[in-house]
Amino acid sequence: MNSHGLGVTRCGNMEFRWGERTYIMGVLNLTPDSFSGDGLGRNIEAAVVQARRVVEEGADILDIGGESTRPESSPVAADEELRRVIPVIERLAGELSVPLSIDTYRSEVARRAVTAGVMMINDVWGLRRNPELAQVAAEAGVPLVIVANQREKTYGEIVPEVIDSLREGMKLAQDAGVAWENIIIDPGIGFGKTLDGNLELMRRLGELRALGRPILLGTSRKSMIGLVLDLPPDQRLEGTAATVALGIANGADMVRVHDVMPMVRVSRMTDAIVRGRAK
């Protein structure tokens, strides 16, 4: 066990040694309607070029999504999601030096993605929409990210609600056979939470440590930043940097970001202060 007591999570040929440093999850959106303006649709070559660049800039893992998670976006059919992501995964799995993650809540998409070479499943519904995802992760022996999603729910106090939601997802995952070291939790910034709720979650992120699993934080370009700074998604870099630095200081182990190179630098500097890791 490391200093955090979170152990090591193996993901393909990568070992996440929690507590040693902050890991960077780069985003690859294969959607035409990404909220952050970086959607690539079904342009495989453009996706490969962008994926290579993200890895060169320092991403430790690449999160591939075929359906927008913006609040007002319309869902796509599973076969369209598969058409967007599988050809890209098949190309990248053999080319990249870092593992791939699939951002999906559909078990059939996750199953096909794992077969195509994906090494992590990132479920923005935290097993609420499709508990079968846990079985896919268990059978494949891959890490599973459980996101606290408050959409379609009402909540009173945000932090206890998020902790309960994550605990519920963790139990479903374990009951399905997902190994403890393969569970990663995400507070779900922007998923069904008010601006005040998101800001409070950021302030009290350290309370999620009680769950005993590594924390993935996804704040990059989110509307929380837009609302505070009154800026569009493509101008939220500094706001994202503030959330990444404070998130790491409050316990985040991995950050999911669009702007990889600047956030690698922010993470390294923050790690030097927070973790005493100067190199």
Residue 79 sits in a domain whose CATH number is: 3.20.20.20
Select from 169, 197, 189, 201 the least CA-distant residue to 69: 189
Q: Is residue 263 part of a domain?
A: yes
Cα torsion through 54, 57, 62, 68, rounded to 10: -50
Res. 34: pLDDT tops 80 = no
The answer, as to whether pTM is greater than 0.85, is: yes
- 165, part of any domain: yes
- Structural domain includes residue 207: yes
In a domain, residue 12? The reply is: no
- For the record, the structure tokens of 228 come out as 């505070």
Cα–Cα dist 52/38, whole Å: 15
Q: Using the predicted structure, report yes or no on whether residue 197 has a pLDDT greater than 50.
A: yes
List strands edge to edge, sheet with 254-257. Answer: 183-186, 144-147, 120-123, 100-103, 61-65, 23-29, 254-257, 216-217
Q: Is 203 designated active site? A: no
> Among residues 21, 111, 112, 256, which one is catalytic?
256
Average pLDDT along the chain: 93
Q: Say if residue 102's pLDDT is above 50.
A: yes
pLDDT tens for 3-24 read 468 999 999 999 999 999 999 9
Per-residue pLDDT at 1 exceeds 60:
no
* Residue 15 located in a structural domain: no
**Domain range enclosing 145:** 22-274
Give me the number of domains the chain comprises: 1
Q: Is 177 domain-assigned?
A: yes
Contact 148, 187 (CB under 8 A): yes
Q: Tell me what the mean pLDDT of segment 262-276 comes to.
A: 97
| Whether the predicted pLDDT of 257 surpasses 90 | yes
pLDDT digits (tens, 9 = 90+) for 137-181: 999 999 999 999 999 888 889 999 999 999 999 999 999 999 999
Looking at the predicted structure, is the pLDDT value of residue 47 above 70? yes
In a domain, 169, yes or no: yes
pLDDT at 2: 42
Q: In a 10 Å sphere around its CB, with 0-12 CB exposed, 13-18 middle and 19+ buried, how is residue 38 labelled?
A: middle
Known catalytic residue at 222: yes
pLDDT digits (tens, 9 = 90+) for 64-89: 999 877 766 778 889 999 999 999 99
| 135 has pLDDT over 80 | yes
Quick check: 261 pLDDT over 80? yes
In a domain, 9, yes or no: no
DSSP string, 154-171: --SSHHHHHHHHHHHHHH
Residue 57: helix, strand or coil by DSSP?
coil
The active-site residue, picked from 106, 112, 222, 236, is: 222
pLDDT in tens, 206-255: 999 999 999 999 999 999 999 999 999 999 999 999 999 999 999 999 99
